[in-house]
Amino acid sequence: MRAVTERESEVLKSIVQEYIATGRPVGSRSFVQKYSFSISPATMRNIMYDLESLGFLTHPHTSAGRIPTDTGYRYFVDFLSDSYDISDLDYGYIRDDFMRSEVHLDKMFMSITKMLSSVSRLAGIVLTPNPDFTAVKQIELVSIDPETVLLIIVTRTGVVINKKIAISERVTRDILFSTSNILSSEFAGFSIYDIKTDILGKMRQKYSGSDEQICLDVVELALNSINEQDIFIEGIENILHIPDMIEKEVLTSFLRLIEEKKNLAEIMQRTMDSDSVQTFIGSEIDNSYVVGCSLVACCYKIGNKNAGVLGVIGPTRMDYRKVVPLVDYTGRLVTNFLSSVSR
């Protein structure tokens, strides 16, 4: 497959933009006119034909204008879309709004989700931080009945995680207390990830044979089963006011997508490796069923580790030039906030 020429690129870019703006198939004549191309409609048709052979465009029926394929959007987003500059969009008020919001972390994420949705006029989505990567501030063991111990972890971000642990052997309150102290002093400042991969091993040697050993084992088990990532979605009703979505197939795939939160979390996770905004267009989201929807997402960090993901879900025909910088900006905002709060 041959490369795309300069002129073809330019045309493709304009076609995608035009289609994003109007939602109607783009035909040669009016398009040449509107965008003041200095070529005739006939030439435009030839270019369109070529772009179609290359897989970037298609038409709904013989005598209709062209619309972008998923591949076309992909090429547009990767190479052609010049995002608006943040400063042009004036997101200052977002920051102000945001800073006024409560310190409670869950509420913060909820308000971020709402904000993403209301600014983009699409659905906002936030995956809360993977606790593995947040630094532990304090850790505590509390006996709640003879066979159960409650493990409480307070993170630097102020989140409280608790996990019940079944404990078979008899462990006295004193042992719990001393283990708590040991854990707090040894774990403080490290992330759960560090603890699991590194610290626990060292401690096992250090305390082998002692009474506290028993506790260490179950604590490890408990740490491995921590899985407190939540997903927030807001603005579903925005989506329904979008004409593209009324097509039953599209709407169904959207709803199935957001209802299967577990699956959605996995999809979001794929962003975790990257530091920049990622777009998932149509079937790229989930090769099975998704039609007509796209996801724009990026990570936010705690410390210097990617901890969670936030973004926007909407129709494939969305204004990436605006959505991408919005997601980008919001990501940085959350990153900054979390680093200020977990200090």
Partner DNA sequence: TGTTAGCACTCCCATATTTTGAGTGCTGAT
Partner DNA sequence: ATCAGCACTCAAAATATGGGAGTGCTAACA
Site string for DNA, 50-89 (x = CB under 7 A): --x------xxxxxxxx-----------------------
**Which of 81-89, 193-201, 217-225, 250-258 is the region at the interface with its own copies (rule: CB under 8 A)?**
250-258
Asked if residue 162 binds its own copies (CB under 8 A), the reply is yes
Position 90 contacts its own copies (CB under 8 A): no
CB of 18 to its own copies, least distance (A): 27
* 21, 40, 144, 197: residue in contact with DNA (rule CB under 7 A): 40
- The count of C-alpha atoms lying within 13 angstroms of the C-alpha of 177, restricted to the half-sphere facing its C-beta, is 3
Which residue, 18 or 212, is less far from DNA as judged by CB?
18
**Which of 323, 333, 263 lies closest to 300, judged by CA?**
333
Whether 23 contacts 16, CB under 8 Å = no
Could you give the string, one character per residue 124-153, with x where binding to its own copies holds by CB under 8 A and - elsewhere?
-------------xx-x-x-xx----x-x-
Whichever of 142 and 199 has its CB closer to its own copies, that residue is: 142
234 to 111, 308, 314: CA distances (angstroms): 9, 17, 12
* The pairing of beta strand 231-234 with beta strand 278-281: unpaired
Shortest Cβ distance from residue 302 to its own copies (Å)? 18
Binding of residue 321 to its own copies (CB under 8 A):
no
Residue among 17, 137, 144 nearest 76 (CA): 17
Interacting partner of 240 out of DNA, its own copies, none (Cβ under 5 to 8 A depending on kind): its own copies
With beta carbons less than 8 A apart as the criterion, state whether 279 and 285 touch: no
Environment class of 104 (CB within 10 Å of its CB; exposed 0-12, middle 13-18, buried 19+): exposed
Candidates 33, 172, 252, 336; binder of its own copies (CB under 8 A) is 252
What residue ranges in the chain does DSSP mark as E strands? 57-58, 67-68, 123-127, 136-145, 148-155, 160-166, 231-234, 278-281, 293-302, 305-315
**Is the distance from CB of 120 to CB of 114 less than 8 angstroms?**
no
Is 303 a residue that touches DNA (CB under 7 A)? no
Question: Distance between CA 86 and CA 74 in Å, rounded?
Answer: 22
- 27's contact among its own copies, DNA, none, with CB below 5 to 8 A by partner kind, is DNA
CB of residue 160 vs its own copies: minimum separation in angstroms? 5
- How many residues sit close enough to DNA to count as binding (CB under 7 A)? 26
If one asks whether residue 245 binds its own copies (CB under 8 A), the answer comes out as: no
| Terminal Cα-to-Cα distance of the chain (whole angstroms) | 53
Pick from 18, 70, 186, 234 the residue near its own copies by CB under 8 A.
Answer: 234
Select from its own copies, DNA, none the partner in contact with residue 63, using the beta carbon and a kind-dependent cut-off of 5 to 8 Å: DNA
Taking CB under 8 A as the rule, does residue 237 contact its own copies?
A: yes
Give the separation between CA 16 and CA 8, rounded to whole angstroms: 12
Residues that bind DNA (CB under 7 A): 25-31, 38-43, 45-46, 48-49, 52, 59-66
